[in-house]
Amino acid sequence: MSVSSVALSSGARRLTLRGIALFYLLAILIGPVIVVCWRTFDQGAGHVWDTLTDSNTIHAFEMTLLVTAIAVPVNTVFGIIVGLAIVRRNFPLKGLLNAFIDLPLALSPVVVGLSLFLLYGRGGWFGDWFEAHGIQILFALPAMVLATIFVSLPFVAREVIPTLREIGDEQEQAARTLGASAWQTFRRITLPSIRWAVIYGVVLTTARCLGEYGAVAIVSGRLEGQTETATLRVEDRYTNFDLAGAYSIAVVLASMAILVLIAMTLLKPKEEAER
Amino acid sequence: MTAFLSVIVVLPIAAVVWESRRDGAASFWDVVTSPGAVDALKLSLGAAAVVALMNAVLGTITAWVLVRDRFRGQHLVNSIIDLPFALPTIVAGLTLIALYGPRSPVGIDVFGTRVAIGLALLFVTLPFVVRTVQPVLLELDREMEEAARSLGAGELTVFRRIVLPNILPGILSGVALAFARAVGEIGAVVLIAGNLQVASVFIFTHIESGDRAGASAVAVVLLTISFAVLLVIGGVRRLATRHERV
Amino acid sequence: MSIEIQGIGKRFGDFVALEDVTLEVEAGSLTALLGPSGSGKSTLLRIVAGLEQPDAGTVRLDGEDVTVTPPQARGVGFVFQHYAAFKHMTVRKNVAFGLEVRRRPKSEVAARVDELLELVQLRGLADRYPAQLSGGQRQRMALARALAVEPSVLLLDEPFGALDARVRKELRRWLRRLHDEQHVTTVIVTHDQEEAMDVADRIALMHEGRIQQIGDPRELYDAPVNDFVRSFFGPVVETADGLVRPHDLSLSHEPGPTSFEAMVTRVVHLGFEVRVDLLDADGRAFSAQLTRDEEAELELESGQIVFVSPRNGVDASVGTPGLGVGDEVVE
**What digits encode the pLDDT tens for the residues C274-293?**
999 988 888 888 888 888 88
Map residue C285 onto helix, strand or coil. strand
Instruction: Provide the domain count of chain B.
Output: 1
CB proximity list for B230: less than 8 A, separation 6 or greater? A99, A102, A103, A106, B180
Is A3 part of the contact surface with chain C (CB cutoff 8 Å)?
yes
CA dist B136 and A21 (Å) reads 18
Q: How far is B149 from chain A (nearest CA, A)?
A: 11
Residues A105 and A31 in one domain: no
Residues A106 and A242 in one domain: yes
Boundaries of domain holding B101: 26-245
Domain with residue A133: its CATH number is 1.10.3720.10
- Among B141, B144, B243, the residue with its CB nearest the CB of C131 is B243
In sequence order, what DSSP letters do the residues of C108-154 get, joined into one string? Answer: HHHHHHHHHHHHTT-GGGTTS-GGGS-HHHHHHHHHHHHHHT--SEE
Report CB contact under 8 Å: A153, B229. no
Residues A19 and A141 in one domain: no
CA dist C237 and C279 (Å) reads 12
Residues of chain B positioned with their CB less than 8 A from the CB of A112: 12
Q: Which of A265, A92, A13, C297 lies closest to B68 in space, CA to CA?
A: A13
Are C246 and C289 contacting, i.e. CB atoms less than 8 angstroms apart? yes
**Residue B51, in any domain of the structure:** yes
**Residue B33, in any domain of the structure:** yes
Q: Cα torsion at B93, B95, B99, B100 (round to 10°)?
A: 0
List chains adjacent to chain C, taking adjacency as at least 3 C-beta pairs closer than 8 Å. Answer: A, B
| ipTM for the assembly | 0.88
pTM of the model: 0.83
For residue A2, what is the nearest residue in chain C, using CA coordinates?
Answer: C73
Q: Which of A54, A52, A101, A95 lies closest to A75 in space, CA to CA?
A: A101
Phi and psi dihedrals of A176, rounded to 5?
Answer: -65, -40
In the predicted model, is pLDDT for residue A255 greater than 80?
Answer: yes
Cα A36 off chain centre by: 22
pLDDT mean over A21-46? 86
Report CB contact under 8 Å: C72, A2. no
Single-letter amino acid code for the residue at A112: V
**Residue B235, in any domain of the structure:** yes
Q: Cα torsion at C63, C66, C72, C74 (round to 10°)?
A: 10
Q: Which residue of A1, A4, A9, A13 to mutate against C (max C Cβ within 10 Å)?
A: A1
Are C44 and C56 contacting, i.e. CB atoms less than 8 angstroms apart? no
Residues A56 and A19 in one domain: no
Residues A21 and A55 in one domain: no
Beta-sheet strand order (sheet of C153-157): C76-79, C153-157, C185-190, C30-34, C202-207, C210-215
Residues A66 and A142 in one domain: yes
Report CB contact under 8 Å: B91, A10. no
For residue C101, what is the nearest residue in chain A, using CA coordinates?
Answer: A4
Report CB contact under 8 Å: B11, A264. no
Residues A103 and A22 in one domain: no
Single-letter amino acid code for the residue at C122: L
Are A260 and A180 contacting, i.e. CB atoms less than 8 angstroms apart? no
Residues of chain B positioned with their CB less than 8 A from the CB of A218: 204, 207
Residues above pLDDT 90, as percent of chain C: 56
For residue C72, what is the nearest residue in chain B, using CA coordinates?
Answer: B152
User: How far are the Cα atoms of A36, B97, B100, B103 from residue B107, in angstroms, in the given order?
Assistant: 15, 12, 8, 8
**Residue B4, in any domain of the structure:** no
Are A108 and B183 contacting, i.e. CB atoms less than 8 angstroms apart? yes
pLDDT attached to residue C76 = 93
Phi and psi dihedrals of B48, rounded to 5?
Answer: -65, -40
**Residue B179, in any domain of the structure:** yes
pLDDT attached to residue A8 = 55
Q: Which residue of C72, C150, C152 to mutate against A (max A Cβ within 10 Å)?
A: C72
If one counts every other C-beta atom within 10 angstroms of the C-beta of residue C182, the result is 13
Boundaries of domain holding A107: 44-274
CA dist C295 and C312 (Å) reads 18
- Among B146, B151, B165, the residue with its CB nearest the CB of C97 is B151
Contact map slice: B 103-142 vs A, CB within 8 A: 105, 119, 122-123, 126
Question: In whole angstroms, how large is the CA radius of gyration of chain C?
Answer: 24
Rounded to a whole number, what is the distance in angstroms from the first to the last CA of chain A?
47
Is B153 part of the contact surface with chain C (CB cutoff 8 Å)?
yes
Is B80 part of the contact surface with chain A (CB cutoff 8 Å)?
yes
- Among A106, A231, A234, the residue with its CB nearest the CB of B226 is A106
Q: What is the 3-state secondary structure (H, E, C) of C247-267?
A: HHEEEECCCCCCCEEEEEEEE
Q: How far is A129 from chain B (nearest CA, A)?
A: 15
Q: Sign (positive/negative) of CA torsion A61, A66, A70, A76?
A: positive
Residues of chain C positioned with their CB less than 8 A from the CB of A2: 73
Report CB contact under 8 Å: A107, B223. yes
Report CB contact under 8 Å: B177, A97. no
Q: How far is A10 from chain C (nearest CA, A)?
A: 11
Q: Which residue of B95, B99, B124, B134 to mutate against A (max A Cβ within 10 Å)?
A: B95
Question: How many CB pairs lie under 8 A apart between chains A and C?
Answer: 10
**Residue B209, in any domain of the structure:** yes
**Residue B9, in any domain of the structure:** no
Contact map slice: B 38-57 vs A, CB within 8 A: none
Q: What is the 3-state secondary structure (H, E, C) of chain A?
A: CCCCCCCCCHHHHHHHHHHHHHHHHHHHHHHHHHHHHHHHCCCCHHHHHHHHHCHHHHHHHHHHHHHHHHHHHHHHHHHHHHHHHHHHCCCCCHHHHHHHHHHHHHCCHHHHHHHHHHHHCCCCCCHHHHHHCCCCCCCCHHHHHHHHHHHCCHHHHHHHHHHHHHHCCHHHHHHHHCCCCHHHHHHHHHHHHCHHHHHHHHHHHHHHHHHCCHHHHHHHCCCCCCCCCHHHHHHHHHHCCCHHHHHHHHHHHHHHHHHHHHHHHHHHHHHHHHC
Report CB contact under 8 Å: C129, B149. no
CB proximity list for A20: less than 8 A, separation 6 or greater? B58, B61
Residues above pLDDT 70, as percent of chain A: 96
Domain with residue B218: its CATH number is 1.10.3720.10
pLDDT attached to residue A166 = 86
Is B143 part of the contact surface with chain C (CB cutoff 8 Å)?
yes
For residue A1, what is the nearest residue in chain C, using CA coordinates?
Answer: C73
pLDDT attached to residue A6 = 42
pLDDT attached to residue B94 = 92
Contact map slice: B 157-216 vs A, CB within 8 A: 177, 180-181, 183-187, 190-191, 199-200, 203-204, 207, 212, 215-216
In this prediction, residue C245 has a pLDDT band, given cuts at 50, 70 and 90, of confident
Contact map slice: C 64-83 vs A, CB within 8 A: 69-70, 72-73, 75
Tens-place pLDDT, residues A144-180: 999 999 999 999 999 999 999 888 888 888 888 888 8
Are C52 and C43 contacting, i.e. CB atoms less than 8 angstroms apart? yes
Cα A96 off chain centre by: 23
Q: Which of B117, B64, B119 lies closest to A29 in space, CA to CA?
A: B119
Tens-place pLDDT, residues C35-63: 998 899 999 999 999 999 999 999 999 99
Q: Cα torsion at A66, A72, A73, A79 (round to 10°)?
A: 160
Residues A75 and A202 in one domain: yes
Residues A146 and A200 in one domain: yes
pLDDT attached to residue C126 = 94
For residue C151, what is the nearest residue in chain A, using CA coordinates?
Answer: A1
Residues A97 and A218 in one domain: yes
Residues A202 and A221 in one domain: yes
**Residue B12, in any domain of the structure:** no
If one counts every other C-beta atom within 10 angstroms of the C-beta of residue B29, the result is 11
Residues of chain A positioned with their CB less than 8 A from the CB of B105: 35
Instruction: Provide the domain count of chain A.
Output: 2
pLDDT attached to residue C237 = 78
Residues A220 and A175 in one domain: yes
In the predicted model, is pLDDT for residue C320 greater than 60?
Answer: no
Q: Which residue of B150, B164, B166, B243 to mutate against C (max C Cβ within 10 Å)?
A: B150
- Among A28, A110, A231, the residue with its CB nearest the CB of B184 is A110
pLDDT attached to residue C85 = 95
- Among C78, C85, C88, the residue with its CB nearest the CB of B150 is C78
10-residue mean pLDDT series, chain B (246 residues): 75 78 75 85 95 96 94 92 93 92 88 93 95 94 95 94 94 94 94 92 91 87 89 83 65
